[in-house]
Amino acid sequence: MLKKLVFVAALAALAIGCTKETELVLSSESGTLEYKAGSYTLNVTSSDDWTLTPGGSYDWITPSKTSGKMGDQITFNALINLTGKIRSASYTITSGSQTKNISINQKSGTIDAAVSLSLKNVGKGTAYFDYTISTSNPDDYQDYGFYYGTTSDLAKAERKVAGSSVSTGTKEVTLDGLADNAEYYAWPWITTVTGVEVVGDTPVKVIPPICVAKAEDLQTTIDEAAEYSVIRLLGGMTVTGGIEVKSNVTISGGWNAEFTEQNAAKTIIEGGKEIPGVIVPEETVGAVIQNLEITKAVCMEAPFKRGAGISVNGDLTIENCYIHDNRAYSRGGGIGSAFDGGCPFTLTIINSNISHNISEDSHGAAIYTPYNTKLIMVNSLVSHNWCQEEDGYTGGLAVYGSSVLINNTFAKNFCNGEGDGYYYNYIFRPDGDPEATHYIVNNVFAGDMCRPSNPYCDGWSWDEFPADSYKPCQRNVKLEGRDGPPIEDMYVFKN
């Protein structure tokens, strides 16, 4: 019996000694990935099932499987690395008594995107920006947009996505829902595919204009506007009953329906009986009107019998306006001051047309400015204005203060009295402003008219004067008639 036990034990030992050792072979035990999202694959050769164990906790790389059998593959999928550092992961694969270590490294890329924002246009509730993205690797980024708010504190700003497909270059982006005349700040941002955000350093300031599309809203809008506000008016809109501008705002007509382009017809401001088209009182400093058509004002009584189209007594700039078919009893059918002796002011007229206005009883049918004022007029036309009074003067301008005239045309203005295209204050008011100066450069005075009995016409009688024509004056600019400094000290003429 003992011999049998010994024999069995010997056979068992022999069997153990002949058992084949587990096989575990990997196609690679280490690998290096580029910084972009990618994968690393290895083949597993084993005589037994295997398991894969990570050497730590990794949120950037994931194996396709953690267990398997002979002939399987393992693929390690890595996210993009924009951390600025090389990162590593280690794993252990075990099959039977065999183990193998796997090491995977990933290079790091850099965040090289730069974003900038510039204001292109702003309309009714919407700002339009040029948004520029610069990067050598647009695929590294997932979206872009801007923060915006009513303060320059980025921490209080809202975040808006402008696009989800990143490409280099400049594109137009919009920011909607903005309040009129509110102050906004906008910062551009772009995010990497890993969620890292790059924000522009300097905000862009945006102030949407006040936009008026209904005539009945205009006067209230002007009255409630803060200083330096810009008020845009719908082109082609007609405002009746005139407007009054008491503060230094800009009133700009001729805008399209979106209030982004000033390419529509002028906005029309109609005066009325004893109502000027535009009233600018003494307290106004620095008002601007642009692209308006001002017409149909008939002012025959105080306080506006001087200055029908525009009654100006404070600082005003007129740009690209057409002032026509207005009628004043006294002076300034087109533009005039309601009274003399008020506060000094400057009237600036640029690229405008003052035509077909009437002054019934006095002078300066187109424009009248009083003492202690300054008229600056550039690139404008004064034509076909009529001073009806037989003893009146100047169908064109009556300037009692100082003036600067550059590149203007004065043509076919008519006066029953001493019709001149231009008439200075000290011609007929020797007690006027002794400090007045005049600078006249490259102006045209042509075809201005007076009644035939005027000493500057050639002697026709009124009965012989054709009803449908005018008589040319021989002298359009009259300089004499005032004691004081020599003419060369008071005028500068250049051609």
Distance CA(117)–CA(157), nearest Å, equals 16
Q: What is the pLDDT of residues 397-453, one digit of tens each?
A: 888 888 888 998 888 787 776 544 444 322 333 345 667 777 878 887 776 555 544
**Tokens 């700003």 identify what position?**
157
For 274-355, where are the E strands, in sequence order?
Answer: 278-280, 287-290, 292-295, 298-299, 310-312, 316-319, 322-324, 327-328, 335-336, 345-350, 353-355
Paired sense of beta strands 184-192 and 298-299, if any:
unpaired
Distance CA(299)–CA(285), nearest Å, equals 24
> What are the backbone angles phi and psi of residue 273, rounded to the nearest 5°?
-70, 120
* Cβ–Cβ under 8 Å, residues 22 and 95: yes
What single letter denotes the amino acid at residue 270? Answer: E
- Total-model pTM: 0.69
Structure tokens at 16: 């153990």
- Portion of the chain with pLDDT greater than 70, in percent: 81
> Which string of DSSP letters, residue by residue, matches 129-166?
EEEEEE-S-GGGEEEEEEEEESSS-GGG-EEEEEESS-
Which residue, among 431, 411, 432, 407, has the nearest Cα to 420 in the 3D structure? 411
> What are the backbone angles phi and psi of residue 398, rounded to the nearest 5°?
-125, 105
Q: What is the pLDDT of residues 82-130, one digit of tens each?
A: 888 999 999 999 998 899 999 999 999 888 899 999 999 999 999 999 9
**Region class of 159: left (phi > 0), else alpha (psi between -120 and 50), else beta:** beta
Torsion, Cα 420 425 428 432, to 10 degrees, reads: 180
* Cβ–Cβ under 8 Å, residues 80 and 140: yes
Residue range 143-159: mean pLDDT, rounded: 93
pLDDT at residue 417, as a whole number: 60
